[in-house]
């Protein structure tokens, strides 16, 4: 040790038994692994997976296409769960007033609800991320402008904004997606701005700037990926919120057209018959909606715990 | 005389806190929310010659980190300019600007914070040389490997993430990232402060070896006077945003001129001070928000005179290469007349 | 000095953390003795177990941590056998702790006087408010806070970092404890502020007879402040000695390496003496002497467990290839 052969620096490290770090695992795989090891997370993932698969494969699982009026038999209207149809099929969840098999209708409704929820959340995510990153990176007046718009937007109840928009735009799948995006983007913008401001002050961003990397590389390769964890949590929760908001709007009759019934619309349809004892027309779509939203929220909760640096170790 | 590698001329950095919208409205209604200006760095000049190590010492709030970040191009100065071999860095454009920006790199205090947690080690080191085409594409990997070996990292660990390395290894990754773009000056901002004593020695030795092998220059920013004395050729002492003294290292430690430098050197804990009864410098470091007028140090200075409360002392050469900003070095009357 | 005269006697302390992969010992078989008014340094790098030792003595080890063996005698009373109620009585009264971050001690939403008066009256109900207040004011004055009367009414955020640490020290000193455990309280402070605080701590302990354990990684601080030093490495005390002996004639190669890696012990510009490698992780401790993989004097004999042995009065070390023979 007295001979200071500096070239032996590396060799010394090895000799001292500083082991090679173990093979790394991709962080994303680690997160998925942790979610699945958590009983609550596992339950949420199972619920969501089953429901998503059911929605995707609805045409093959449900034996009836509830939108094909030629397949509906008006004579089968409002049959109780477990009843036999004229043609000898058992309606396990009963039928609605137009003779739709509720099981098939729920599968197709799930499809619409999930599609609208995920699509609107994805579009809102992109818009909100762009706005939030711009605000955080540009700072100053741009930041003030964007964030005041966000503040104003968030001070109104989302349902009010959606109601006004739909009153102006009219009904339709595209219209409701627009309405949901408008009510949602601000949440993403605020979340990502918060984390981007934190990340921007970290030394690795200084290092990237010192290395004369262009701003777009600093923002998209360095800041954005490190803002993703909270964004993923918010996005998960927001999908659930978008689905329930869409159901609310459809229930109120200003969401989706009757020709494309989502879960909300199914609930609304059956609501008229609740008092006459035909509970199943509203109940089963309602349960499906509840299960879906609870499932997504369980996944979101677990993700938040797993991704929260303070909860680790 | 040929131009120094890097010259900082009259650098100031002010942070202004302007009243926000609410405060402006309140002002219209008769409240008084003035904008506050903090001089983090106040008219600082310093230069680094080729192959030289300049130590920058001072306590919290003295602006040593800010000046380091300005020289490294991370922050921009409010006033003053940075010259690279006589060329104003702010006036360079395009490829030339990028080329000279890469000549100055920085090593940070917290090794883990300075590494993107989502990048693998190899990508951290590879990113900048690939983007700037420091090496031809086919030689890029060999270039990265040679840099890793130079700093004592095993190229087989390129696919590991930063959190899988020890503190000392992480700092080596930061050093490799800087070296990969062939810099000439490295700004070390408290680069060994967060490391354990035995690891600290390893990293300091690495810095000194790199200097020998690559002819690197350093600005070594540290609160640890012992480390600065060991590694530096010349030392600059700062207090509340200003340079108070500058001298070759042995000259400074043998003949510290400024009362602040003297106090600082006296109070550094040393191994050979046993059971000492400390006779500390009294008083707190003033807030940079409201620095005392005149010489910033006068409220704590045992030799403070009347002039010190009013007039900012100039940084004057008192011996070859030794500058100090203290009124004790000039005739008090002359200093007063200047005012 | 007979044992019963010691303020604090720790014998065979073992503290472990129960992890998913099984228990790992952060501190194993630590013995410490501190006499009245004595200032003792506990030196080590991160992972040495020095802070865990301090927390163990205070009874502040929470799950998954656990003290599994040993005795902690404070004035002859075993703290490990004391009830939680008795421990609360003793903490802040007979034994106090100062942390690196003073906000561990201070409550950010309460005024300093509220916190300090509470700290007195919780241990002695008979003290009146006015008397308690006077004692608080005097305590602030003792640790060098200017105009203590006014500062009593301030909130923690109105103090600078150095001043906050002084307040934390004043609170620790309030009830004239028999011993204070200080865990790197000046590490985050500037040099001139550090030396002010060191000076005051030293004086307070001399004047009041309070014993002090100063936990630090910095041998240069220990040199000026302490009477006696314990050096810890990877959970073991590897050397114990009066401060002059330790710094001038270290026995253990680790102590020697630490001293020699300090820049002022090396010729300027020359490579520093360095200890190769890093402290091993708790769950991957080498067999035998835990320092042997990094040690220049190691032999195969170091693979056996090595006990502390005496090298003369008040000197012990855990090494079979010592630099100085006893």
Compute the average pLDDT of residues B68-90: 93
Q: Is residue A48 in some structural domain? A: no
Compute the average pLDDT of residues A279-284: 82
Q: Is residue B77 in some structural domain? A: yes
C64 preceded by cis ω (within 30°)? yes
- Positive or negative, the CA dihedral C43, C49, C53, C55 is positive
Residue A311: pLDDT band by 50, 70, 90 thresholds?
very low
Residue A313 has pLDDT above 60, yes or no: no
A13 interaction partners in chain C (CB closer than 8 Å): 276-277
For residue A154, give the CATH number of its domain. 1.10.3720.10
A6 interaction partners in chain C (CB closer than 8 Å): 271
Tokens found for residue A190 = 């605020």
Residue A219 DSSP class: I
B263 interaction partners in chain C (CB closer than 8 Å): 192
Strands of the C211-216 sheet, one edge to the other? C95-98, C179-183, C211-216, C39-43, C228-233, C236-242, C316-317, C309-310
Q: Determine, for residues C194 and B281 on separate chains, whether the beta-carbon distance falls below 8 Å.
A: no
* Chain centroid, CA B209 distance in Å: 20
The C-side interface with A (CB below 8 A) comprises 257, 270-271, 273-274, 276-278, 280, 284, 286, 293-294, 296
A3 interaction partners in chain C (CB closer than 8 Å): none
Residue in B with minimal Cα distance to A4: B205
First-last CA distance in chain A: 38
A202 interaction partners in chain B (CB closer than 8 Å): 113-114
Angle at C311 between CA C307 and CA C312, to 5 degrees: 140
Residue B275 has pLDDT above 70, yes or no: no
C266 interaction partners in chain B (CB closer than 8 Å): 230
Q: Is residue B115 in some structural domain? A: no
pLDDT digits (tens, 9 = 90+) for A250-274: 888 887 877 777 888 888 877 777 7
Q: Is residue B78 in some structural domain? A: yes
Q: Output the pLDDT for position B105.
A: 97
Q: Tell me which residue of B314, C283, B131 sits closest to A19, measured CA to CA.
A: C283
First-last CA distance in chain B: 34
Do residues A212 and A236 make contact, with C-beta atoms less than 8 angstroms apart?
no
- Give me the residues paired with residue C15 across strands: C27, C67
Do residues C152 and C140 make contact, with C-beta atoms less than 8 angstroms apart?
yes
**Among candidates C273, C278, C280 on the partner chain, residue whose Cβ is nearest the Cβ of A1:** C273
**Among candidates C217, C257, C259 on the partner chain, residue whose Cβ is nearest the Cβ of B271:** C259
**Among candidates A2, A16, A19 on the partner chain, residue whose Cβ is nearest the Cβ of C276:** A16
Tokens found for residue A133 = 């990153």
Q: Tell me which residue of A266, A277, A290, A226 sits closest to A104, measured CA to CA.
A: A266
**Among candidates B167, B229, B274 on the partner chain, residue whose Cβ is nearest the Cβ of C243:** B274
Mean pLDDT of chain C: 89
- Positive or negative, the CA dihedral B157, B162, B166, B168 is positive
Q: Is residue B318 in some structural domain? A: no
CA distance B306 to C258: 47
Angle at C159 between CA C158 and CA C163, to 5 degrees: 170
pLDDT digits (tens, 9 = 90+) for B140-175: 999 999 999 999 999 988 988 898 888 899 999 999
Do residues C286 and C293 make contact, with C-beta atoms less than 8 angstroms apart?
yes
**Cβ pairs A/C, distance under 8 A:** 29
Three-state secondary structure call for residue A78 = coil
Residue in B with minimal Cα distance to C256: B198
Three-state secondary structure call for residue B114 = coil
pLDDT digits (tens, 9 = 90+) for B98-129: 999 999 999 999 999 999 998 999 999 999 99
Q: How many CB atoms lie within 10 A of CB C208?
A: 14
Q: Give me the count of residues in chain C.
A: 326
Q: Is residue B95 in some structural domain? A: yes
Compute the average pLDDT of residues A204-208: 95
Q: Is residue A129 in some structural domain? A: yes
Residue in A with minimal Cα distance to C20: A313
- Positive or negative, the CA dihedral A169, A174, A176, A178 is negative
pLDDT digits (tens, 9 = 90+) for C116-126: 998 998 888 88
B230 interaction partners in chain C (CB closer than 8 Å): 263-264, 266, 268-269, 272
Best of B105, B116, B144, B199 to mutate (most A CBs within 10 Å, chain A):
B116
**Among candidates B72, B113, B202 on the partner chain, residue whose Cβ is nearest the Cβ of A210:** B72
Compute the average pLDDT of residues B305-322: 92
**Among candidates B97, B105, B157 on the partner chain, residue whose Cβ is nearest the Cβ of A21:** B157
Q: Is residue A249 in some structural domain? A: yes
How crowded is the C-beta side of A174, counted as CA atoms within 13 Å?
Answer: 1
**Could you identify the residue written with the tokens 């098999």?**
A101
Residue A9: pLDDT band by 50, 70, 90 thresholds?
very low
Lowest mean pLDDT, pick from B87-96, B293-302, C51-60, C137-146: C137-146
Contacts of B146 (CB under 8 A, 6+ apart): none
Q: Output the pLDDT for position B272.
A: 75
Strands of the B36-48 sheet, one edge to the other? B36-48, B6-17, B79-84, B87-88
Architecture field, domain C3-94+178-317: 3-Layer(aba) Sandwich (3.40)
Domain tally for chain A? Answer: 1
Angle at A215 between CA A209 and CA A219, to 5 degrees: 95
Q: Is residue B310 in some structural domain? A: no
pLDDT digits (tens, 9 = 90+) for C42-58: 999 988 999 999 999 99
Q: Is residue A200 in some structural domain? A: yes
Structural domain span for residue A110:
94-311
Phi, psi of B134 (to 5 degrees): -65, -35
B268 interaction partners in chain C (CB closer than 8 Å): 191, 220
Structural domain span for residue B218:
6-103+183-270+279-284
For residue B56, give the CATH number of its domain. 3.40.50.300
Burial B304-318 (b: 16+ CB within 10 A, else e): bbebbeebbbebeeb
**Could you identify the residue written with the tokens 């990292």?**
B153
pLDDT over 90 for what percent of chain A? 38
Mean pLDDT of chain A: 82
Residue B331 has pLDDT above 80, yes or no: no
Q: Determine, for residues C262 and B197 on separate chains, whether the beta-carbon distance falls below 8 Å.
A: yes
CA distance B141 to B15: 42
Residue A217: pLDDT band by 50, 70, 90 thresholds?
very high
- Positive or negative, the CA dihedral C154, C156, C158, C164 is positive
Lowest mean pLDDT, pick from A169-173, B28-32, C191-195: B28-32
Instruction: Dump strand ranges (E) for C59-174.
Output: 65-74, 77-78, 95-98
Residue B332: pLDDT band by 50, 70, 90 thresholds?
low
Residue in A with minimal Cα distance to C253: A1
CA distance B324 to B239: 12
The domain locations on chain C are: 3-94+178-317, 102-174
Q: Is residue B99 in some structural domain? A: yes
User: What's the gap in Å between the CA of C281 and the closest CA on chain B?
Assistant: 10
Domain tally for chain B? Answer: 1
Q: Determine, for residues C273 and A2 on separate chains, whether the beta-carbon distance falls below 8 Å.
A: yes
B284 interaction partners in chain C (CB closer than 8 Å): 160, 162-163, 193
Helix or strand run (H / E) with residue C25: strand C22-35
Q: Is residue A294 in some structural domain? A: yes
Angle at C38 between CA C35 and CA C40, to 5 degrees: 105
Compute the average pLDDT of residues A108-115: 89
Residue B276: pLDDT band by 50, 70, 90 thresholds?
low
Count Cβ atoms within 10 A of the Cβ of residue C115 and give its class: 0-12 exposed, 13-18 middle, 19 or more buried.
middle
Q: Output the pLDDT for position B274.
A: 64
| Interface check B192 vs C, CB under 8 A | no
Q: Is residue B158 in some structural domain? A: no
Residue A312: pLDDT band by 50, 70, 90 thresholds?
very low
Q: Is residue A187 in some structural domain? A: yes
A210 interaction partners in chain B (CB closer than 8 Å): 72-74, 101, 104-106
User: What's the gap in Å between the CA of B261 and the closest CA on chain C?
Assistant: 11
| Interface check A53 vs B, CB under 8 A | no
Do strands B79-84 and B87-88 pair parallel, antiparallel, or not at all (unpaired)?
antiparallel
């Amino acid at each position: 040790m007295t001979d200071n052969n500096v070239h032996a620096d590396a060799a010394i490290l090895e000799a001292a038994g500083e082991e090679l770090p173990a093979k790394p695992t991709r962080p994303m795989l680690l997160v998925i692994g942790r979610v699945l090891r958590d009983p609550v997370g596992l339950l949420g993932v199972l619920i969501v997976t089953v429901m998503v698969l059911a929605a995707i494969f609805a045409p093959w699982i449900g034996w009836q296409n509830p939108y094909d009026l030629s397949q509906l038999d008006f004579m089968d209207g409002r049959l109780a769960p477990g009843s036999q149809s004229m043609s000898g099929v058992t309606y396990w969840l009963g039928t609605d007033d137009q003779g739709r098999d509720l099981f098939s209708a729920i599968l197709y409704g799930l499809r619409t609800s999930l599609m609208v929820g995920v699509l609107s959340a994805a579009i809102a995510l992109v818009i909100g991320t762009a706005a939030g990153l711009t605000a955080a990176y540009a700072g100053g007046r741009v930041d003030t402008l964007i964030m005041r718009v966000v503040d104003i937007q968030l001070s109104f109840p989302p349902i009010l904004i959606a109601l006004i928009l739909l009153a102006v735009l009219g009904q339709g799948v595209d219209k409701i997606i627009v309405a949901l995006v408008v009510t949602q983007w601000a949440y993403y913008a605020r979340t990502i701005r918060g984390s981007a401001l934190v990340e921007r002050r970290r030394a690795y961003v200084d290092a990237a700037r010192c290395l004369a990397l262009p701003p777009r590389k600093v923002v998209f390769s360095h800041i954005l990926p490190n803002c993703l964890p909270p964004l993923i949590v918010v996005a998960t929760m927001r999908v659930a919120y978008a689905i329930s908001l869409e159901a609310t709007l459809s229930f109120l009759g200003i969401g989706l057209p009757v020709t494309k019934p989502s879960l909300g619309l199914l609930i609304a349809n059956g609501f008229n018959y609740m008092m006459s004892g035909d509970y199943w027309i509203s109940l089963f779509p309602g349960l499906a909606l509840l299960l879906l939203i609870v499932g997504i929220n369980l996944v979101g909760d677990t993700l938040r715990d797993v991704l929260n640096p303070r909860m680790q170790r | 005389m040929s131009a120094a590698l890097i010259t900082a001329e009259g650098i100031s950095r002010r942070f202004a806190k302007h009243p926000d919208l609410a405060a402006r409205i309140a002002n219209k209604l008769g409240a008084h929310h003035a904008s506050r200006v903090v001089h983090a760095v106040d008219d600082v000049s310093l230069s680094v010659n080729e192959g030289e190590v300049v130590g920058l010492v001072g306590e919290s709030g003295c602006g040593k980190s800010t000046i380091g970040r300005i020289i490294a191009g991370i922050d921009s100065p409010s006033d003053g300019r940075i010259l690279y071999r006589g060329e104003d860095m702010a006036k360079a454009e395009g490829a030339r600007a990028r080329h000279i920006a890469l000549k100055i790199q920085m090593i940070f205090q917290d090794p883990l914070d300075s590494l993107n947690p989502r990048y693998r080690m190899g990508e951290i080191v590879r990113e900048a040389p690939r983007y700037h085409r420091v090496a031809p594409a086919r030689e890029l990997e060999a270039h990265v490997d040679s840099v890793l070996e130079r700093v004592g990292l095993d190229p087989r660990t390129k696919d590991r993430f930063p959190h899988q390395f020890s503190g000392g290894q992480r700092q080596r990754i930061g050093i490799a990232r800087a070296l990969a773009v062939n810099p000439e000056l490295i700004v070390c901002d408290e680069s060994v402060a967060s490391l354990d004593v035995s690891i600290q020695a390893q990293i300091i030795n690495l810095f000194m070896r790199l200097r020998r092998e690559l002819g690197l220059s350093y600005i070594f920013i540290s609160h640890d006077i012992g480390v600065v004395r060991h590694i530096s050729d010349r030392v600059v002492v700062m207090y509340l945003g200003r340079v108070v003294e500058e001298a070759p290292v042995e000259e400074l430690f043998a003949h510290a001129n400024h009362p602040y430098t003297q106090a600082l050197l006296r109070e550094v804990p040393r191994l050979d001070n046993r059971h000492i009864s400390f006779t500390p410098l009294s008083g707190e470091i003033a807030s940079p928000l409201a620095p005392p007028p005149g010489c910033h140090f006068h409220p704590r200075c045992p030799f403070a005179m009347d002039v010190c409360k009013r007039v900012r002392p100039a940084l004057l050469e008192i011996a070859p290469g030794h500058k100090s900003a203290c009124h004790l070095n000039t005739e008090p009357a002359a200093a007063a007349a200047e005012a | 000095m007979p044992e019963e005269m010691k303020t604090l006697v720790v014998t065979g302390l073992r503290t472990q953390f129960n992890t998913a992969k099984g228990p790992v010992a952060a501190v194993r078989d630590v013995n410490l003795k501190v006499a009245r008014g004595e200032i003792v340094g506990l030196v080590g790098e991160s992972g040495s177990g020095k802070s865990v030792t301090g927390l163990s003595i205070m009874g502040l080890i929470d799950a998954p941590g656990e003290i599994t063996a040993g005795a902690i005698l404070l004035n002859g009373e075993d703290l490990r056998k004391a009830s939680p109620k008795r421990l609360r009585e003793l903490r802040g009264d007979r034994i106090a702790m100062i942390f690196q971050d003073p906000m561990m001690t201070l409550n950010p939403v309460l005024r300093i006087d509220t916190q300090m008066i509470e700290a007195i009256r919780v241990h002695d109900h008979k003290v009146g408010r006015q008397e308690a207040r006077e004692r608080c004011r005097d305590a602030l004055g003792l640790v060098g806070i200017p105009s203590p009367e006014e500062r009593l009414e301030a909130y923690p955020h109105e103090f600078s970092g150095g001043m906050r640490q002084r307040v934390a020290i004043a609170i620790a000193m309030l009830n004239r404890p028999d011993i204070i455990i200080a865990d790197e309280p000046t590490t985050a402070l500037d040099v001139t502020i550090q030396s002010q605080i060191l000076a005051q701590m030293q004086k307070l302990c001399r004047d009041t007879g309070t014993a002090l354990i100063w936990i630090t990684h910095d041998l240069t601080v220990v040199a000026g402040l302490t009477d006696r030093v314990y050096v810890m490495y990877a959970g073991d005390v590897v050397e114990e000695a009066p401060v002059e002996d330790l710094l001038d004639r270290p026995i253990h190669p680790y102590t020697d390496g630490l001293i020699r890696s300090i820049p002022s012990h090396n010729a300027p510009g020359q490579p520093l003496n360095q200890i190769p490698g890093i402290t091993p992780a708790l769950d991957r401790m080498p067999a035998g002497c835990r320092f042997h993989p990094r040690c220049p004097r190691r032999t195969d004999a170091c693979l056996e467990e090595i006990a502390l042995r005496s090298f003369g009065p008040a000197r012990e070390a855990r090494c079979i290839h010592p630099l100085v023979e006893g």
